[in-house]
Structure formats: structure tokens, C-alpha cells
Structure 1
């Protein structure tokens, strides 16, 4: 179904990162939805005020922006800084700036944006080629290392930055869109039907080309994206030690049944393939991608929504291989997963995609940046065995080797990726179709849009979710005709209730089962629809096929995963128990919701026969012997390590029944 503007006959496009030509739902952009308060507003504020400046500082300090100036001056390769894909970080930074300028109109960010574009533009070659690592005297030739060179990958991010700018400031006159078009035309000439019959080792160009086609209405860009998707899996890239699946070049996209290989690459490819499937009407391809999503979520996704359990190749493991202490769960993989899920949600309209987006936003995207917005996790472990060390705030860290959030990395794909996601987050909140408006994510916000029949919709949303489960939507404009308000009820929210209170005083309440709950009426100003979600803490048990966490449980409350941090153990046990390895959870004791913070009963245990065990195996059980119990508060996983180095775990081993039913008298939290 195509959702069109009744005055133009075209599908309406707002300030959105993804604008499919057809689909079940139409995304509402930053010009139609504005987050106004609460959890995500605070994150966006830090992102706009601190993170973007922090990223700009490091891009300048490391010389990655200056690479373009050297290219324009003919001074490369001497003086070039950064990895082969460093150009892409500048493009992601530009995209983040574009969305934030679209949200806030910030003049300082506008000046920064124009400055960077002005330094990039002279580096573009007359035929449209733009890359600082290839093609000049002393450098490798263009397109000579498709496996690892990232030339097309970098251009994909350039295209996304240009799309963000074109949608938020179409009359800016800074030439970024023209730069992108010239580069895209070159890609089509070099890699078209009669050109190089290969793909980039790192997918991303597919998403960029598809969105650029939507902005420019240049069909050749969509055709090139379609070619890249069709070529993937035909073995056009050279074999490497991790196999062709690392590049998703082992199986054609439409034949694959699950995501595999490098987790970021896999999700970017899937997102781009959905774009191609939707805009070309390829239902077979779309169905294959939905199957891959289903199987990946069911077998290869962490409780947090994180994906990727291999450190060496940043890749998915086999089914059920989800070790918490070796979770790679790269921040960029989760952002790419959100891109994939969002496109399927727009195409199919099913709430399960919104469920995963919510889980991933709260438990990976929100976890990566520090509260200050100036340090980041590259990888997101679910079990920290050693306290780690606070990184030097003035030193570049090695990717996942940083045990705590670090200010910058030698491979710094994650900070600007987080920044562009938070800056464009308003566009993930709501959609529209011919019948009405759909709410996918819960945040205090204002929604102003127009339906296909011309009906104006105005809603104000108030909530302090996820601290509480109340989400109040108030109509602020009278409607001439009935329309349907649909709200996603998360899968975990059994027992939710929906109450409609009219401006005239009428009240009706219904059960709201997981899935969609709807209210259809001719809304009048002052009508209130309130969804109340049950926010009691709950124990979550893993599939027994996940060997690494068998016999363990996790605690969730609403969309948030919780964890145990050793800092809280030290406080509660007066320093007698200081490591999360020394406790088990008493799963039979229940969970206490203490002012929105779950408390669990833990059992401290001493190993038998002792810590000096000469051989860690025996014919009898070596399970620790329970010594005493105490109640301990858990914290949201996204807040871990904000209080300094600690040990931490999400999955807690379950204590065997011991008769220790009452907490130690000295166990109260101080």
C-alpha cells in the first residue's frame, strides 16, 4: 500500500532517515514528532550539547578531517591519518549534525557543518571520486581492495549524510547533495551492469544508494543498490581466514535463512536489501529478510538486543552461542539492527519489530555513551569479570580492549553512529497510515501530522517511562472524522490496560494484550488515551540450548535489563563480599520493586574444599556452600560502570535451596 499526499499524489516524506516509497506504514519525521522530555530527551540533550562537540574535537585532533585538505592540496599519501575507513566517520558526524540542526536549528552546529563540507568538497575528483586513501600517486589504485578498502562503504555514509541534509535543510546551498550525486553517478558507471561485477567487503552503500534514489528520484541509484544486493553471496570477494560468510558473500541474500558473519555488515546489508525489496516490489526478497530477522532474534541475539558473540571477527556465532562474558555486542551492530528492524516495521507493520528496537535502544544504544556523552563502549559485555581501569581521557583506546567507556578509539565507528541515532530518534517514535497514527516508542513528545484524507492530528504524549508504565496521549485538536490511534503493547507487558477518557467525561477501560491496542473515534481536544503497562520486575530464564547461561536467570523491568554491580555488593555486605562471582540468586525469594529499582535476595557462598583447590574437577559436586543471604539492589544495565570500575553480571547463577530464607540483619542498604 502506498501512502500518498492527497494534494500531490506522492508519498509524503518528512525529516526521516528512511523513506520507503511504499509500505504498510509511513514514518513521521522530526518535523512531525518532537521528543519533549524524559529519558530520551535527556539523552538527546547531552548528545547535542556534549557528544557532537566531543566527536568534532577528536576528528580534528586525530587529523581525519585534515585528510581531505591534504587530498585537495595533492599532498597525499604523506600526512594521512587514521584507518582506511576514516572518511566514513566524518560523514557520520555530518549526518548527526544534519539531524540535530533539523531538530534544534542550532547555529553553532550549522557553522560546524558548513565548515566540514567546505573542506571535503575540494577533495572530490572531477569524475566524482572521493576517498582519501586510494587513487593518488603513492596510494593503491581505486577499487583495488574491495574486500578491505571500504571505498564504497565510505560513500554509503556520505550518501546518508547528504540525504539527512537534503531532508532537513533542502535549500541550504552547501553542495553536499551535489557532491553525493556526483559520487553516486561514478559508482553506477564503474559498478553497473557492464562494470565491475563485485561488491564492497563492508555493506552500507546499498542503504545509501537507496535513500539517495528516494531523495533525488534517480532510478539508476536504486538499480545500482539492487545490483549490489543481487551480487552479494556469489563469491565475488577473495576468500579470507574467517570464510566468505564474514562478508555475507557465501549465500545469496534471498537464499539465506539467518544473519551470519560480521554483525554490522550483516545488518547493514539486510537494511539495504529491505530498501531494495520495498522500492522494487520484490516480495520474495522481503519475505526472505523477514525470515532472517526471525531466526536471528530467536537464536543469535542477546537479552539486551545486542548481536555478535565473536571478538576475533566481530561476528555472529552459531545458533545459541551467546556467552555473556565474551559478548562482543558491538554498538554499531545494534544500531544497524535497529535500521533493519525499522525498515521491516514500516514494510509490515508488526509490533515485534518495535519490541526489538525498544530493547536494543534501552540496553545497547543507551549503554554505550557515558552520562557525560564523552566516553563510549565499543563492545557491550554482559559479564565483567575484572574491575578494569578508567581510560585516560586524552588517549585513543583500542576498540573492545577498553574495559570501561573510552573517549575515542583507533576504530571510532561507534561514537558518531550513536550520535546520528540519538539525533534522529524522534523519527522512530510514530508512524501513520490511511486509518490513523501508530505509537511505537514511548517518550514525552508532541505529534503533529496530517492523514491521507487531509485530517489533521495533534497529540501530546506525557510519560516518565520506563520509570513508570503510564503513557498518556492527549488530543489537542478536534477531528472532523473518526481515526484510529494504535499503540504498541510490548510482548513482556501482559496485563496492560487502556483507558479512554473523553473531554465530555466518558470513561472506558479495556485489557490491552501484547501487540496492537487501538482506540478509534472522532477525537476532540481534551480526549485522553492512557496506556498503563505493568512495570513489576520479572525473572527471565534462558533457552536451555544457550549453554553459557544454563542454570542462570536475569532480571528485567519494563524494557530495561538489570545487572548486579560489585559496588552494591560491597555496600550491602559491608565489604565481606566484593565480587559478583561470589554470589548466587535465591530465585524463590521473589523480587522487590524498591522505588523503581529491583532488589534481589542473594546468597553468599564459600567454595568447598577451598580457594586453594589443586584441581578444579572432582567426582562430587563442587558447588559453593551457602553461607548467608542478603538483599541487594540491581541497576539498569545501561548505567553500569558510571560509578567507577566494578565487576558486573546480567545473568545470575541460581542458588540451590538452602533454608537461608531470611536476610542477614546487617544487610540493609546503606
Structure 2
């Protein structure tokens, strides 16, 4: 097998193969982690915390509660009666290895990277030793004294676990390893077993939790082996035909009630639905299936328009961890699982690459800042599983060293019985630079163009060629290097500095967020424009040392909800830049919670010189006898300045009530 070079990017992101599929759909291609490095600021700080806090924290917990020991017991034949965790515990070991692999790729061969590489080799040896001769591997099934293989497709998660093992292998391949790597060879044997078992003429089944689909397409991209893409298509075509049977939450829980091509909006379990979308987009891109791409794009666009929270969170029901109906977006009972936010980023990233529509980069930014960044604590060692937009009662501190229920606390917890979110965060943050900068591809690309989607301090070093036509480029590759300096999202000033440039024209496009459209300014010495497409563009023959400054308006702004969202009618939210703000009870006058206040009529947010945002508020009038004869008289008490903080930071100061949407008095 020949392993081709592909680009690393987060959560199984996309890059064209060296020899792309004829007819494949790729508008943009990501730069690799070797070409993009975060240097300082919001996301660089979180990558550092991820490496020093989250990854070792996850490893310690998985060792402590037996998820890694499961593999040793499976190898020894002693797993019966001793399996730790639920059906999918193996997948979190694989996601942790994926995070480690991306982190090794990010930091290279320094001391930290060498230590992680040693750990990957140790874990890989344990996992490989538990693999059956035919490539099957799962610690929960198929061993003496436990259930047989593939006897519980709805909830067994065997194919889901395989998918995450493959994702770990893809991270290894994209960070320079080859088919001899222990993780890669274990995953390849497992993937080949899946193709042999479930391919044409094989077992007619699908897994209850989509994931294998996106993983198999990624494996095809990384290896060039067509059977993996074919198997992904088989799984996609089988879904939606009732193969998983009836379920108490309905077949839509598994996305098994409607074929992918007939669905119109995301339904059922939010993470499952979004993972399936990602797999369908990947398959459509590689097969040149524009009909399927359009169908899934329309599904996601409708989901964004009608079933998504202001934060970018998805999933409005605790029951089934699922989407609700259109505009069913309760703030206090919403689920907004962290993994669903990451899955939404996966979908938006793929649509950005397939279509070039900068709107999807805005979705990614919103979700990263207000869901993904909200989950881990400042030290990276405790996490939100669910991300409500309103908390009515202060939560209790999680008990140190004890497993927490998924949403049983309104404060961050160190670990959960279902701990998909911490390891998902770890792999996303470690690989985030790979989903930050892209280049245009295609037959109509006459001038090399690089797009910066992620507004953070970074170094970019790549190569470009003078003239491209399709996949063939004339002329030798020339170096292009630049860096961004910014304190975004605190400050809206972004400085683009050219470090090295070719002697022919190039185009650099820096994303202007949709909330800044029409108000952003770009200053520079060469041809420039603020385009209607959502980019500030610098183009021409660039010169090393030249600077271009993009100014984004960072005044806080009032956001009004769609009138069909019953839960927040008559309320407002405050945003600043990409950040959703919220009120916490720790900032209120003594005796008040966030349930006791209302915003004064026509009040607007105020930004002080220190960057703090406040809005005029007052205690709300309460109904004494009957709450349905409220006359909207002015609230009681004098007004006060209500501090607002970034939603991602809430809960870091101890138990508190919190709300994003603020009731607005009309008198």
C-alpha cells in the first residue's frame, strides 16, 4: 500500500489527495499544520492548556477507571465480568490517541512531543495485542464470556469505535507516519475487516452511531484505496431504511427512518445526525456527487436557520440528546452537547472546503468561541457536557475524583461516565491550526489565493506557483510567508505582515466576519478591497516587510431573536465580536439572581476603557397572586449597571445562576 501525503486538519478534515479523484469537488484545500502555527493569543493559549492539562488529564482518568486496561484484559481473555465503562469506552481511548498524534505533529520532536510519542507507542502495542486475527477489535464483544460480535447494531457502537480508531490512524498518517506505524497498521486491518464483513454480498447492516462513514472516506483520502470510499457509500446508502429496527425514541434517533437523500433537516440525536452529514459531504466531494452535496448542504442550512442556538450550539432536547422542531430552542432545558458543537464544526468545515462559501467559516467561529471554548475550565481539567444558555439554580461543585452524570451538574466536572466530550475537545484543539488557512483549487484559479479564516496570531509559510490550471501548475513553486498579529477577540485590530513573497502576483484574503460586514477597514500599500464575499483582500506582487491592517468594529451590539422562538420572545442578547455575552449572579447586587432582573427599556450595552461590557438593568417586578395579569409596570428598585461576561468563561467563579437572553421591560 502506498500512503499519499494529505493535510492535517481538525476532526478528520479534508484535503485533496496527491492524485485526486476525477470529478472530485474541492473549492478550497487546507494548508497543513506544518504550514500554519498559532503563535499567541486565545487559541494558542488553549492549545497550550490542552497539551499540559487536558491530554494528560484524559490519560490519567482512562488509566484509573480501566478503559485502557480493557484492552489488556481482552488480550488475556479475562474481560468477562470486568469490562470498564459503557459500550463505546474504546472510542475514547482512540480519540485520546488521535489528540496525542495531532499534538506530536504540532510540537514536533521537543521534549513534550517525544513523551507523547512514547505514550502512543505504548498504547498502540496494548491495542494491537488485543486485535483478533481477522482484524476485528473491540473490548466489549467477541471474547470468551461476553456477547458475540455484531449482535447489537443499534447500541453496540462497534463500527463507531472502528471509526475513531481509523481517525487516530489518519492523524498519524497526516503527521508523517506510514503504514508500519502501530496505530496505522491496527486501523488498516480493522478497516479491511469491516469492508470484508459489510461490503457487497456481506452483512446488510449499519451502526447505530454514524462515524464509520466519515472515517472511511478520510482513510481513502489518506491511502488512495478505493474500497474504503466504496464501503462508506454502502453504509450511507443503507441508512434510513429501518435496518436498526424500532426504538423508544423513534427511528430518527439513529437517522434510520429517512434515507440521507430524502432528509430535509437534522433530526434525532444531534451528534449522530451531524456525523452522518459530515460523512455524506465527504463521500459527495470525493465522488463528484453534486446532487448529494446540495441535499446535505440544504439540510444543514435549514438546521442553522431554525434549530441552532445563538452560541452555535445544537440539540434542544435532553430526551434523546436530540434536535427539537423548528424554532424549538429553550434556553434552560437545551442540551447543546459539546460534541454536537464539534460535529457542527466538522460539517461547516467540509461545506466551506466544498463550496468556498465564507458563511460556513462564520459558523465555525461562532461555535468554536461559544461552545467548544466554553466546555473546558481554565486549567483544561474539567468540562461542561451540556451547554445551556440559562441556569436558574446555582449548581453544585463536582466531587473530585468521582464520575459525574452527563448533565447532572451545571458546573464543569472532571470526568463523566460518558466522557466523549473531553477527548473530542482534546483532538479538536490539538489540530485546530489545520482548519485555519486554505488555498483555492480548481480550473478557474488564475492567481494563487490564500484565505485566512481563523483570526488569531499565526505564522503561515507555504509555497505557491505562478499559474495554475486545474491540478496542473506551470512554473516552479515559490515561497510565500506571512504572519498575523492580533489580540482578537478582545481587540479588532489584525495586522498582516508579509515575510516572504514570490515575484509574481498573489492574493491574500482575510475573512471579515458577517457581523462586521460593511464596517471593517483595510489599510495597506498595495491593491486592496473589502469584498462582498466576506474577505478583505490584498493582492498584487507583494514585498517582504509590508503591513496591512484590518480593523473590525468591536462595540457590543444588541441581538434580537426571531419572533417564532417562543422561549426568548421579548428578550435581547448582547454580543461583542464573535463572543456571546451572558450575565452571572456573582456580579449582581446581593440577594438577586439572574432570574430576578430585567433590562431597562431601550438600554444599550456600554463598553468601558478596560473592555468591560455593562447594560442598565433593574430588579424585575414579581407577581404576588396571579402571574397572568401582569401590567408591565416598571420593575421595583433603582437601576444598576449589569456586568456581562463572555459566555465561554461562565462558571469559572463558582456556583452561579446565568443567562444569555435578558428579559427587556417595555415600560
Report the equivalent of 2:573.
Answer: 554
Sort the Cα spacing of 1:567 and 1:353 in 2 relative to 1 into closer, same or farther, 3 A: same
Report the equivalent of 1:476.
Answer: 499
Instruction: Say which of 556, 564, 584 aligns to 2:598.
Output: 584
1:287 matches 2:298: no
1:243-642 equivalences in 2 (<5 Å): 243-433=250-440, 434=445, 435-453=448-466, 454-502=477-525, 511=530, 515-569=534-588, 573=589, 575=590, 577-594=591-608, 595-609=610-624, 613=625, 616-619=626-629, 621=631, 625-642=635-652
Instruction: Say which of 14, 32, 37 aligns to 1:19.
Output: 14
1:101 matches 2:96: no
- The alpha-carbon deviation at position 327 of structure 1 amounts to 1.1
- The alpha-carbon deviation at position 147 of structure 1 amounts to 0.3
1:129 and 1:656 map into 2 onto residues whose CA distance is 64
Where in structure 1 do 4 or more consecutive aligned residues deviate above 6 Å? none
1:509 and 1:459 map into 2 onto residues whose CA distance is 16
2:422 and 2:629 map into 1 onto residues whose CA distance is 50
Q: Say which SS state the counterpart of residue 600 (structure 1) adopts.
A: strand
Q: Say which SS state the counterpart of residue 484 (structure 1) adopts.
A: strand
CA displacement, residues 572-607 of structure 1 (integer Å, 9 cap, x when unaligned): x3x1x4201111012513221122221100021342
2:412 and 2:504 map into 1 onto residues whose CA distance is 52
Kindly indicate whether the alpha-carbon contact (under 8 Å) linking 2:178 and 2:184 is maintained by their aligned counterparts in 1. no
- The alpha-carbon deviation at position 655 of structure 1 amounts to 1.3
- The alpha-carbon deviation at position 627 of structure 1 amounts to 2.4
Kindly indicate whether the alpha-carbon contact (under 8 Å) linking 1:213 and 1:221 is maintained by their aligned counterparts in 2. yes
Report the equivalent of 1:128.
Answer: 135
User: Which consecutive residues of structure 1, in runs of 5 or more, have no partner in the other structure?
Assistant: 1-9, 658-670
Greater displacement, 537-546 / 470-479: 470-479
CA displacement, residues 92-132 of structure 1 (integer Å, 9 cap, x when unaligned): 00000000010012111111111111111100000000001
Instruction: Say which of 58, 67, 71 aligns to 2:74.
Output: 71
Report the equivalent of 1:5.
Answer: none
- The alpha-carbon deviation at position 509 of structure 1 amounts to 7.1
1:401 and 1:452 map into 2 onto residues whose CA distance is 55
Sort the Cα spacing of 1:309 and 1:623 in 2 relative to 1 into closer, same or farther, 3 A: farther
1:203 and 1:517 map into 2 onto residues whose CA distance is 38
Report the equivalent of 2:231.
Answer: 224
Kindly indicate whether the alpha-carbon contact (under 8 Å) linking 1:567 and 1:578 is maintained by their aligned counterparts in 2. no
- The alpha-carbon deviation at position 149 of structure 1 amounts to 0.1
TM-score by length of 2: 0.93
Kindly indicate whether the alpha-carbon contact (under 8 Å) linking 2:271 and 2:343 is maintained by their aligned counterparts in 1. yes
Greater displacement, 298-307 / 444-453: 444-453
Report the equivalent of 2:19.
Answer: none
1:553 and 1:179 map into 2 onto residues whose CA distance is 52
CA displacement, residues 339-364 of structure 1 (integer Å, 9 cap, x when unaligned): 11101100001111000000000000
2:52 and 2:601 map into 1 onto residues whose CA distance is 43
- The alpha-carbon deviation at position 329 of structure 1 amounts to 0.1
CA displacement, residues 445-498 of structure 1 (integer Å, 9 cap, x when unaligned): 000111254232101110100001111111111321101111221111134334
1:73 and 1:619 map into 2 onto residues whose CA distance is 70
2:629 and 2:493 map into 1 onto residues whose CA distance is 54
1:172 and 1:20 map into 2 onto residues whose CA distance is 19
- The alpha-carbon deviation at position 620 of structure 1 amounts to 5.2
Kindly indicate whether the alpha-carbon contact (under 8 Å) linking 1:496 and 1:513 is maintained by their aligned counterparts in 2. no
Q: How many residues align?
A: 634
Q: Say which SS state the counterpart of residue 130 (structure 1) adopts.
A: coil
Sort the Cα spacing of 1:318 and 1:310 in 2 relative to 1 into closer, same or farther, 3 A: same
Kindly indicate whether the alpha-carbon contact (under 8 Å) linking 1:490 and 1:514 is maintained by their aligned counterparts in 2. no
Greater displacement, 18-27 / 251-260: 18-27
Report the equivalent of 1:654.
Answer: 664
Kindly indicate whether the alpha-carbon contact (under 8 Å) linking 2:55 and 2:426 is maintained by their aligned counterparts in 1. yes
Q: Say which SS state the counterpart of residue 48 (structure 1) adopts.
A: helix
Kindly indicate whether the alpha-carbon contact (under 8 Å) linking 1:274 and 1:286 is maintained by their aligned counterparts in 2. yes
Report the equivalent of 1:35.
Answer: 38
Q: Say which SS state the counterpart of residue 656 (structure 1) adopts.
A: coil
1:87 matches 2:87: no
Kindly indicate whether the alpha-carbon contact (under 8 Å) linking 1:495 and 1:533 is maintained by their aligned counterparts in 2. no
Kindly indicate whether the alpha-carbon contact (under 8 Å) linking 2:528 and 2:536 is maintained by their aligned counterparts in 1. no
Kindly indicate whether the alpha-carbon contact (under 8 Å) linking 2:4 and 2:223 is maintained by their aligned counterparts in 1. no
Q: Say which SS state the counterpart of residue 264 (structure 1) adopts.
A: helix
Q: RMSD over aligned Cα, in angstroms?
A: 1.7
- The alpha-carbon deviation at position 257 of structure 1 amounts to 1.0
1:389 and 1:218 map into 2 onto residues whose CA distance is 51
- The alpha-carbon deviation at position 163 of structure 1 amounts to 0.5
1:493 and 1:430 map into 2 onto residues whose CA distance is 20
Kindly indicate whether the alpha-carbon contact (under 8 Å) linking 1:248 and 1:266 is maintained by their aligned counterparts in 2. yes
Kindly indicate whether the alpha-carbon contact (under 8 Å) linking 2:528 and 2:539 is maintained by their aligned counterparts in 1. no
Greater displacement, 509-518 / 238-247: 509-518
Q: Say which SS state the counterpart of residue 641 (structure 2) adopts.
A: strand
CA displacement, residues 156-212 of structure 1 (integer Å, 9 cap, x when unaligned): 000000000111131595321111111111111111111111210000001111111
